[in-house]
Amino acid sequence: MTGRQNISKEELFARTPVPKALFTMAIPTIISQIINLVYNMVDTFFIGRTGNSYMIAATTITLTMVMMCVALANLFGIGGGSQVARLMGRGDHETAKKVSAFAVYGAIAIALVYSLLIGLFLDPVLIFLGASDATIDYARSYAIIVIVIGGLPGILSMSLAHLLRNAGFSAQASVGLSMGSILNCALDPLFMFVILPKGQEVTGAALATALSGTAACVYLIFAYIRAGRTSPLGLSFKGALSLPKEQIRAVFAVGVPSAILTGLFDLANICVNILAAAHNDLVLAGMGIVMKVERIPNAVNIGICQGMLPIVAFNFASGDHERMKSVIKTARNTGLIVSVICIVFFEIFAAPSSELFLSTTAGDMKSAALTVSLATLFLRIRAAASPVQFLNYHTSYCMQAMGNGKYTMLHAFVRELVFYIPLMFLLDFMFAETGLAAALPAGEACGAMFALYLLHRMLTGKYKKRGA
């Protein structure tokens, strides 16, 4: 049975027609990304029913802390998963089991450290992120429950999903993340509007998120154990400790740049929040709404890239570089089409998309209406970034799949620290909050040009010499 399972996955990666192989791997990851997006958006949606812009601003502040969980999960999930896929391509399943076990225990350790640090320094962190007297109590309540208490199951579940996906079990990863999202949708209104009293909606949303994340983690642990019976996914602590140093370096060579990439993205959002909060809490709330809405095309495109990654990694390791290039091209064209469709949609439906996340008929209606109008403006401006943002994701995943941590990290630093963040401060200074919104398409366009240069150099230079 083990042999048949391995042959099935290898046939998918190595011989199935490229569009079908990409479709088979990407659809489950897109579904899981969208459902994970719903999981992260549902709190804002239900909190928005209160019409309280300050609650929305508070969840915007804590979003950056949640995104740091994603970065930490990428460190071991994508780093370990990418190496597992390459080892499968080489037929070294025994080492792959040790790599996957190392990734699991590494994710657990780093989740515990992160939760502890946030718990010790929570108020200073919130103030640094832009919390005001009107928002800090809400933000503190949410962060304690979701990050300090729920950080471990949250980071571990994302790491397990990456490992399952890279071993060819995209459907199992999607089911686990989907289950958490569906449960969150059910628990949010229960805790916010039934169990807890009025004014405690943020606490209710946090409890629902933590409980649903824990349930998803439990499912993914069992799915991982079951998948390990027929694939190179392991949980042996002894195997993790005996992993050769070169394999640990290979995990971190991809995982560290991936974590830094997400961490720098989070740093950029922190800068957006600080600059927006400097204008006022309503600008911060409006920007927070847009950051939720614009993640819809990002979720689809990241799903495409995550579905592409193991196929590219497998064929790179096996030496079939022509097939690898075909997968890269097919994924790129698909993502660009999705991005253009999303631009058209958001330019037309920016206002109703923004109103989904903040009611203008409840609470402080005047403040809510102003917040929605700001969000509508910001969304129309920032939506233009979708195609170039996808090119940045796509190129980064390609370089991760080929194990080139150096280029991945270089791209991450240049994209955020050389282009986006400096443009953010410059355009905000010149054009206020409108310029702050415009910094995203400007910065991502510059980053995409640099990313395409790096990928072209890899495909036509270094790897061409190896027979690509």
pLDDT tens per residue across span 353-367: 888 888 777 667 788
What is the average per-residue pLDDT within 426-432?
96
Query: Tens digits of per-residue pLDDT, 336-350?
Result: 999 999 999 999 999
Residue 185 pLDDT level (bands cut at 50, 70, 90)? confident
Residue 149 burial (CB count, 10 A): 17
Phi, psi (rounded to 5 degrees) for 356: -60, -25
Helix and strand tally (H, E) in the chain? 18, 0
Which residue, among 74, 98, 217, has the nearest Cα to 149 in the 3D structure?
217
Percentage of residues in the chain having pLDDT higher than 90: 44
Q: Does residue 117 form part of some domain?
A: yes
- Please, are residues 292 and 36 in contact by the beta-carbon 8 Å criterion? no
Rounded distance, CA 6 to CA 4, Å?
6
What is the average per-residue pLDDT within 91-109?
92
Most confident among 4-8, 33-37, 221-225, 258-262 (mean pLDDT): 221-225
Its pTM stands at 0.74
Answer with the residue of higher pLDDT: 293 or 143: 143
- Boundaries of domain holding 134: 2-462
Residue 7 pLDDT level (bands cut at 50, 70, 90)? very low
What is the average per-residue pLDDT within 152-160?
94
* pLDDT for residue 207 is more than 90: yes
Task: Say what the pLDDT of residue 89 is.
Answer: 78
* pLDDT for residue 466 is more than 50: no
* pLDDT for residue 218 is more than 90: yes
What is the average per-residue pLDDT within 360-384?
87
- Please, are residues 309 and 397 in contact by the beta-carbon 8 Å criterion? yes
**99 CB-near residues (< 8 Å, 6+ apart):** 80, 83, 84, 87, 243, 247, 250, 251
Q: Does residue 314 form part of some domain?
A: yes
Task: Say what the pLDDT of residue 1 is.
Answer: 38
Residue 2 pLDDT level (bands cut at 50, 70, 90)? very low
Q: What is the mean pLDDT of the chain?
A: 87
**281 CB-near residues (< 8 Å, 6+ apart):** 53, 54, 57, 132, 134, 135
Which residue, among 77, 101, 121, has the nearest Cα to 262 in the 3D structure?
77
Largest CA distance in the chain: 66
**196 CB-near residues (< 8 Å, 6+ apart):** 203, 204, 207
Percentage of residues in the chain having pLDDT higher than 70: 95
Q: What is the DSSP string of 4-26?
A: HHHHHHHHHHHTS-HHHHHHHHH
Task: Say what the pLDDT of residue 423 is.
Answer: 97
Task: Say what the pLDDT of residue 101 is.
Answer: 93
Q: Does residue 467 form part of some domain?
A: no
* pLDDT for residue 6 is more than 80: no
Rounded distance, CA 310 to CA 114, Å?
28
The Cα-based distances of 396 to 337, 389, 437, 455 in angstroms read: 19, 11, 24, 9
Answer with the residue of higher pLDDT: 408 or 7: 408
Q: Does residue 354 form part of some domain?
A: yes
What is the average per-residue pLDDT within 145-171?
90
* pLDDT for residue 467 is more than 50: no
* pLDDT for residue 461 is more than 70: no
The Cα-based distances of 30 to 19, 34, 157, 307 in angstroms read: 15, 6, 17, 8
What is the average per-residue pLDDT within 134-158?
93
Answer with the residue of higher pLDDT: 4 or 18: 18
Task: Say what the pLDDT of residue 28 is.
Answer: 80
Answer with the residue of higher pLDDT: 459 or 417: 417
Task: Say what the pLDDT of residue 4 is.
Answer: 41
The letter for the amino acid at 109 is: A
Residue 9 pLDDT level (bands cut at 50, 70, 90)? low
Domain count, the chain: 1
Answer with the residue of higher pLDDT: 90 or 338: 338
Q: Does residue 468 form part of some domain?
A: no
In a 10 Å sphere around its CB, with 0-12 CB exposed, 13-18 middle and 19+ buried, how is residue 332 labelled? buried
Rounded distance, CA 143 to CA 216, Å?
19
Task: Say what the pLDDT of residue 5 is.
Answer: 44
* pLDDT for residue 3 is more than 50: no
Q: Does residue 164 form part of some domain?
A: yes
* pLDDT for residue 431 is more than 70: yes
* pLDDT for residue 468 is more than 50: no
